[in-house]
């Protein structure tokens, strides 16, 4: 019976996605409906805290690759300032202005003050990482390890910490907060009701701000509906000022005009033909409009039920975006292993190829753990994902990280070899593809096989000899 | 109800005549007619009218045997459509593809061979392996009594026309589908493992080009009364229609001969080849006449009774032997 809400969400999602996108279909502005507010604000939309966390995350990722083997303490302190600190004056390390793509803000506080990532990190145990650690413990452990590497990569284990930290934090902070908190608990009638301000003196109601915060964590520019997947993706890559600069002031506002995190990966999947980004955006805008239309009154059961429907569309499609990313990087790891095998067999220099493999594996593992930090207990699926990926990439001589000792050192073991690990990647893609009914299926390691089976047909035949 | 019937008609029945992948595709049937006509007029010196009369003879197309063929074909298109697929080629391909990773400790990519060579090779290998598998399974259907109980439904036809190719018991249909899945899956798994995205099938109208060619040059005449034979050396490689008609003959000398489908080299290799003769005249059907050989009840249910009896026989014999043997002394005393 569990599949019924999901099916309904997909059906509603398709209907939403097929609705015509108007050029002015942006997330906000929405009117002030909070009755107790008497100030001069005209727009009740507010998700600055979430966008501040996006730049904290981007900056943290950048810092994770800054170690040179001698500056461990300094790098670690900087990373912790962006992960757990709330101090004023923190510069935005990424995304920063570059030629042809100037950004408005240079400090985190210009978007929102006193924000951190640690306080919003999922507190459950992460089974996909060795050491039985909670979400914040995993990130702090990784930060410590990253600070001791050169460029964030550990050649002994194959770990690429910028990727591991970034992708896991995307799930443990943004995805978890949005889907397990704001689009879940905070949609209850008695939690942050719409006929009261979110907090005393606020110019937005409880439900308005809860919805805004979920939207912020998704990481889309407010005008994403007027962009196609390639344009939205290109904004994150800082490729086109024209696409990003919606208000035409010649600069990119990191609060409302930038693409971050999950929106970027939704757009990435959509380049292969899916419509996750616009489906999610449409549901966010329609949900927010529904709340605005209530005009500051408590939502009726019917209104709240409809809002929960929009939330289900967002959650279902968001989960698929993460699954598509795991699928994609399982395919990348498979290809990397194929290349490595050729290099090893010809006794070539595998250093560069191994680093690429580590980078893709970091993205694979980070996204898998992000998926596991969502609102649902994935049960058996989660166990299978962990078993197939393991705790670390399989190393050139075989074996992988199997545990962390009490002193925090990695233990390498296991009889896993590269050929067997390639099979694991195929199985992982099949597992996720079947479970989620994935459509983008980037880097599909067995697509040729499926295409051939389809072209040859597979039917019962009574044709005799 | 009407929609269901309409869908069955297009998807399961008419597809046999509309799909170029099928032996009874209208284009292949027309080609067979054309070849038969030319052969009768040019080689056999028949007049046009006489040739047409011969091709569309009442015995071949409207006999009791032929009517049973049409009914079985129609009933099978309902029965087979409702049957579960026991093995899919996708599952076989995956299994082999994964196993080869373990065997070769990874996946070496063969990059030097151009895609058109890989596609030609794949199409050829698939055709040859499939043809050999058909030969092997066909031979088993004759050699194993339980399987023969089902396959003899096909051989009970006393007149042959192209639709006789679908005079098949559903159990045999399941065996064929398993064979097809194993062959396709194995070829796909091995080729994709070795050549990746370079693998494709050379196709004509969506069908395997070689198989299409085989069907287009008159494969439908195999099940017909038009006994076209080939030049002897060619009949050692390619099965002529007349050679397959020998396979359906009741003559003891033709018993268990010419199992091949497109290629006869398998029969040559495994000593079951018989050449066609000029002006051969054959009687088709089963050697031991059975009661009502064209009754649908007999065609569908008798194989189960016969196969059941064959399976039960050894068990009853064993029980009989056990009862007739004296008990050991120790047991007798107790």
Give every CB contact of residue A313 below 8 A, 6+ residues apart in sequence. A9, A10, A12, A13, A16, A279, A280, A283
Host H or E run for residue A410: strand A410-413
Residues 29-58 of B with CB under 8 A from A: none
CA distance B181 to B173: 12
Residue B213 contacts A, CB cutoff 8 Å = no
Q: Which residues contact A383 (CB under 8 A, 6 or more apart)?
A: A127
Token pair listed for A199? 């907090």
Asked if B108 lies within 8 A of A461 by C-beta distance, the reply is no
* CB distance A209 to A194 below 8 Å: no
Q: Are A420 and B102 in contact (CB under 8 A)?
A: yes
Q: Determine the Cα–Cα distance for residues A134 and A76; give it in Å rounded to an integer.
A: 19
Q: B107 and A341: CB-CB below 8 Å?
A: yes
Confidence of residue A8 (pLDDT cuts 50, 70, 90): very low
pLDDT of residue B330: 53
CA atoms within 13 A on the CB side of B55: 22
| Contact predicate A86/A114, CB 8 Å | yes
Mean pLDDT calculated for residue range B194-205: 92
Residue B176 pLDDT exceeds 70: yes
Place of tokens 């005549």: B17
Nearest by CB: B106 against A422, A447, A461: A422
On whether ipTM exceeds 0.90, the answer is no
Contact B184 A453 (CB under 8 A): yes
3-state secondary structure of A98: strand
Tokens linked to A163:
């990727």
For A453, the closest of B93, B126, B203 (CB atoms) is B93
Q: The pTM is what?
A: 0.83
Task: Point out the residue among A419, A449, A458 whose CB comes nearest to the CB of B192.
Answer: A449
Q: B57 is written with which tokens?
A: 């003879």
A10 pLDDT exceeds 70?
Answer: no
CA distance A307 to A180: 15
C-alpha span between A459 and B15 (Å, rounded): 12
CB-count exposure of residue A214 (10 Å: 0-12, 13-18, 19+): buried
Shortest CA distance from A465: residue in chain B: B261
Instruction: Return the number of other C-beta atoms located less than 10 Å from residue B327's C-beta.
Output: 9
For the ranges A5-9, A315-319, B3-7, B280-284, the lowest mean pLDDT is seen at A5-9
Instruction: List, as own/partner pairs, every contact residues A428-434 make where C-beta atoms lie below 8 angstroms and the sequence separation is at least 24, other chains included.
Output: A428/A326, A428/A327, A428/A330, A428/A385, A428/A388, A428/A389, A429/A327, A429/A330, A429/A331, A430/B94, A431/A381, A431/A384, A431/A385, A431/A388, A432/A323, A432/A326, A432/A327, A432/A330, A432/A385, A433/A327
**A282 vs B168: CA distance, rounded Å:** 55
| Count helices and strands in chain B by DSSP H and E runs | 16, 2
- Helix (H) or strand (E) segment spanning residue A411: strand A410-413
Residue B71 sits at the chain A interface (C-beta within 8 Å)? no
Mutation site for B-interface testing, chosen from A353, A422, A464 by largest number of B Cβ within 10 Å:
A464
Residues of A in contact with B97 (CB under 8 A): 426, 446, 449
Q: Which residues contact A368 (CB under 8 A, 6 or more apart)?
A: A128, A326, A385, A386, A389
**Three-class SS of residue A242?**
helix
- Check residue A7 and give its pLDDT: 45
Lowest-confidence pick of A241-255, A312-326, B75-89: B75-89
Cβ-defined contact of B105 to A450 (cutoff 8 Å): no
What pLDDT, in 10s, does the model give residues A397-445?
Answer: 889 999 999 999 999 998 788 999 999 999 999 999 999 999 999 999 9
Cα torsion through A41, A46, A49, A52, rounded to 10: -90
Residue B303: list chain A partners with CB under 8 A: none
In sequence order, what are the beta bridge partners of A410?
A404
Note the pLDDT tens digit of each residue in A264-282: 999 999 999 999 999 999 9
* Overall average pLDDT of the B293-311 stretch: 94
Chain A contact present for B170, CB below 8 A: yes
- Looking at the complex, does the CB of residue B76 fall below 8 Å from at least one CB of chain A? yes
Closest residue, chain A, to B23 (C-alpha): A463
Mean pLDDT to the nearest integer, A37-49: 96
Give the mutation candidate from B89, B93, B95, B101 for the A interface (greatest A CB count, under 10 A): B101
CA distance A372 to chain B (A): 27
Residue bearing tokens 């030319």: B38
Q: Which residues of B touch A449 (CB under 8 A)?
A: 90, 93-94, 97, 188-189, 192
A219 phi, psi to nearest 5 deg: 90, 20
Q: Kindly tell me the sign of the dihedral angle through the C-alpha atoms of B295, B296, B297, B298.
A: positive
The residues, ordered by sequence, that sit 6+ positions from B305 with a Cβ below 8 Å of its Cβ are none
Residues A157, A401 contacting (CB under 8 angstroms)? yes
Q: Under an 8 A CB cutoff, do A456 and B184 touch?
A: yes
Q: Which residues of A touch B98 (CB under 8 A)?
A: 423, 426-427
B-facing residues of A in 375-434 (CB < 8 A) are 417-420, 422-423, 426-427, 430
Query: What confidence score (pLDDT) does residue B329 get?
Result: 59
Instruction: Look at B177 and A460 and tell me if their CB atoms are within 8 Å.
Output: yes
DSSP sequence for A270-298: HTTT--HHHHHHHHHHHHHHHHHHTTTSP
Interface touch B184/A450, C-beta < 8 Å: no
* 8 Å CB contact of B22 and A464: no
Is the CB of A463 less than 8 angstroms away from the CB of B23?
yes
Residue where the block lists tokens 């452990």: A141
The residue among A18 and A307 whose pLDDT is bigger is A307
Percent of chain A at pLDDT exceeding 70:
94
Instruction: Say how far apart CA B95 and CA A426 lie, in whole Å.
Output: 11
Mean pLDDT of A291-297: 97
Short-list A393, A447, A48, CA closest to B188: A447
> What's the CA gap between A276 and A265, in Å, rounded?
9
CB contact under 8 A, B89 and A453: yes
The answer to whether the CB of B245 falls within 8 A of the CB of B221 is no
A228: left (phi over 0), alpha (psi -120 to 50) or beta: beta
Q: A452 CB near a chain B CB, below 8 Å? A: yes
Across the interface, which of B107, B173, B203 has its CB nearest the CB of A461?
B173
In A120-268, beta strands by DSSP E: 153-154, 159-160
Verify whether the Cβ–Cβ distance B106 to A452 is below 8 Å. Answer: no
pLDDT at B327: 60
Find the mean pLDDT for residues B148-176: 96
pLDDT computed for residue A269 by the predictor: 98
What residues does A159 pair with on adjacent strands?
Answer: A154
Q: What is the pLDDT of residue A345?
A: 86
Break chain B down into helix, strand, coil percent, rounded to 5.
65, 0, 30
The per-residue pLDDT for range A299-308, each reduced to its tens digit, is 999 999 999 9
pLDDT at A24: 53
- pLDDT value at residue B178: 93
* C-alpha–C-alpha distance, residues A9 and A315, integer Å: 9
Q: Which of A338, A423, A460 sits opposite B173 (nearest CB)?
A: A460
Q: Count of A–B CB contacts within 8 Å?
A: 124
Q: Mind telling me how many Å the CA of A426 is from chain B's nearest CA? A: 8
Tokens of B192: 């994709």
Q: For chain A, give the mean pLDDT.
A: 93
Among all chains, which residue has been given the structure tokens 């730049």? Answer: A55
Our CA-based measurement puts residue B40 at a distance from the nearest CA of chain A, in whole angstroms, of 25
Lookup result for tokens 């091949």: B260
Cβ atoms of residues A152 and A160 within 8 Å: yes
Looking at residue A38, what is its pLDDT? 94
Helix A276-293 vs helix A261-270: angle between axes, to the nearest 10 degrees? 130
- How close, in Å, is residue A423 to chain B by CA atoms? 6
> Cβ(A369)–Cβ(A176) under 8 Å?
no
Closest partner residue to B192 (CB to CB) among A420, A448, A457 is: A448
Q: B48: distance to nearest CA of chain A, Å?
A: 31
Banded model confidence at residue B326, pLDDT cuts 50, 70, 90: low
Interface of B with A in 223-282 (CB under 8 A): 259, 261
CA distance A409 to chain B (A): 29
Alpha helices (H) in B196-284, listed in sequence order: 209-216, 232-235, 241-247, 265-269
pLDDT in tens, B6-52: 988 988 899 999 999 899 999 999 999 999 999 999 999 999 999 99
How far off is chain B from A330, nearest CA to CA, in Å?
A: 15
Task: Indicate the pLDDT class of residue B289, thresholds 50, 70 and 90.
Answer: low
Measure CB to CB from residue A452 to each of B22, B98, B188 and give the nearest one. Answer: B188
Q: Inter-chain contact B106–A418, Cβ cutoff 8 Å?
A: yes
- Would you call A45 exposed, middle or buried from its count of C-beta atoms within 10 A (0-12, 13-18, 19+)? buried
The per-residue b/e assignment along B115-135, b for 16 or more CB within 10 angstroms, e otherwise, is eeebbebbbeebbbbbbbbbb
Partner A contacted by B172 (CB < 8 A): yes
Chain B nearest-CA distance from A419, in A, is: 4
Return the minimum-mean-pLDDT range out of A126-140, B100-114, B229-243. B100-114
């Amino acid at each position: 019976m569990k599949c019924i809400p999901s099916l309904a969400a997909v059906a509603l999602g398709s209907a939403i996605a097929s609705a015509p996108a108007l050029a002015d279909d942006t997330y906000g502005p929405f009117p002030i409906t909070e009755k107790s507010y008497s100030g001069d604000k005209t727009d009740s939309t507010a998700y600055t805290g979430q966008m501040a966390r996006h730049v904290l995350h981007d900056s943290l990722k950048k810092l994770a690759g800054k170690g040179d083997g001698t500056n461990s303490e300094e790098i670690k302190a900087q990373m912790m300032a962006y992960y757990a600190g709330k101090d004023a004056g923190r510069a935005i390390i990424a995304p920063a202005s570059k030629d042809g793509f100037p950004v408005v803000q240079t400090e985190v506080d210009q978007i929102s003050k006193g924000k951190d990532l640690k306080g919003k990190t999922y507190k459950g145990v992460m089974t996909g990482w060795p050491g039985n650690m909670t979400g914040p413990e995993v990130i702090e452990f990784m930060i410590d390890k990253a600070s001791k590497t050169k460029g964030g990569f550990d050649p002994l284990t194959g770990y690429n910490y910028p990727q591991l930290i970034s992708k896991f934090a995307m799930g443990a902070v943004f995805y978890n907060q949005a889907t397990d908190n704001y689009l879940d608990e905070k949609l209850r009638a008695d939690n942050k009701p719409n006929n009261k301000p979110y907090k005393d003196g606020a110019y937005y109601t409880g439900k308005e701000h809860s919805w805004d915060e979920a939207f912020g964590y998704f990481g889309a520019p407010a005008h994403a509906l007027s962009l196609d997947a390639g344009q939205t993706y290109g904004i994150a890559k800082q490729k086109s000022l024209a696409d990003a600069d919606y208000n035409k002031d010649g600069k990119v506002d990191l609060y409302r005009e930038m693409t971050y995190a999950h929106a970027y990966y939704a757009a990435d999947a959509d380049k292969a033909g899916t419509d996750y980004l616009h489906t999610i955006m449409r549901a966010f805008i329609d949900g927010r409009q529904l709340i605005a239309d209530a005009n500051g009154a408590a939502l009726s059961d019917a209104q709240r039920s409809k809002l929960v429907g929009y939330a289900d569309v967002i959650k279902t499609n968001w989960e698929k975006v993460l699954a598509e990313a795991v699928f994609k990087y399982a395919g990348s790891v498979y290809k990397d292993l194929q290349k490595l095998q050729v290099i090893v067999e010809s006794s070539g220099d595998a250093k560069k190829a191994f680093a690429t493999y580590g980078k893709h594996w970091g993205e694979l593992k980070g996204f898998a753990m992000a998926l596991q930090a969502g609102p649902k207990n994935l049960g058996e699926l989660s166990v299978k994902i962990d078993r197939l990926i393991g705790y670390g990439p399989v190393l050139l001589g075989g074996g992988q990280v199997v545990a962390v000792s009490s002193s925090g050192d990695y233990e390498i073991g296991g009889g896993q070899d590269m050929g067997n690990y390639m099979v694991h990647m195929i199985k992982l893609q099949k597992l996720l593809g079947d479970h989620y009914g994935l459509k983008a299926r980037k880097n599909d390691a067995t697509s040729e096989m499926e295409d051939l089976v389809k072209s040859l047909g597979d039917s019962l035949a009574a044709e005799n000899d | 109800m009407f929609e269901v019937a309409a869908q069955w008609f297009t998807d399961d029945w008419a597809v046999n005549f509309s799909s170029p992948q099928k032996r009874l595709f209208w284009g292949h049937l027309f080609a067979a007619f054309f070849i038969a006509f030319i052969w009768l007029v040019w080689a056999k010196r028949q007049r046009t009218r006489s040739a047409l009369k011969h091709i569309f003879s009442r015995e071949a197309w409207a006999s009791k045997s032929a009517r049973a063929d049409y009914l079985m074909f129609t009933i099978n298109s309902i029965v087979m459509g409702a049957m579960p697929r026991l093995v899919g080629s996708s599952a076989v391909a995956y299994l082999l593809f994964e196993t080869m990773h373990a065997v070769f400790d990874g996946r070496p990519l063969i990059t030097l061979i151009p895609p058109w060579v890989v596609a030609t090779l794949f199409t050829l290998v698939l055709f040859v392996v499939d043809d050999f598998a058909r030969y092997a399974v066909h031979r088993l259907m004759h050699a194993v009594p339980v399987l023969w109980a089902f396959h003899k439904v096909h051989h009970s036809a006393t007149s042959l026309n192209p639709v006789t190719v679908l005079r098949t018991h559903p159990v045999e249909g399941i065996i064929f589908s398993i064979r097809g899945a194993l062959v396709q899956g194995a070829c796909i798994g091995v080729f994709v493992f070795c050549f990746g995205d370079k693998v494709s099938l050379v196709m004509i109208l969506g069908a395997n080009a070689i198989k299409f060619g085989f069907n287009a040059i008159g494969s439908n005449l195999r099940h017909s009364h038009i006994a076209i034979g080939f030049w002897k050396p060619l009949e050692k490689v390619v099965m002529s229609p007349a050679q397959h008609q020998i396979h359906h003959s009741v003559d003891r000398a033709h018993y268990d001969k010419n199992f091949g489908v497109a290629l006869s080299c398998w029969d040559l290799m495994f000593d079951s080849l018989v050449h066609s003769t000029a002006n051969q005249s054959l009687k088709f059907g089963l050697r031991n006449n059975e009661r009502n050989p064209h009754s649908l009840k007999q065609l569908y249910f008798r194989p189960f009774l016969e196969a059941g009896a064959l399976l039960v026989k050894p068990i009853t014999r064993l029980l009989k032997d056990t009862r007739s043997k004296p008990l050991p002394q120790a047991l007798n005393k107790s």
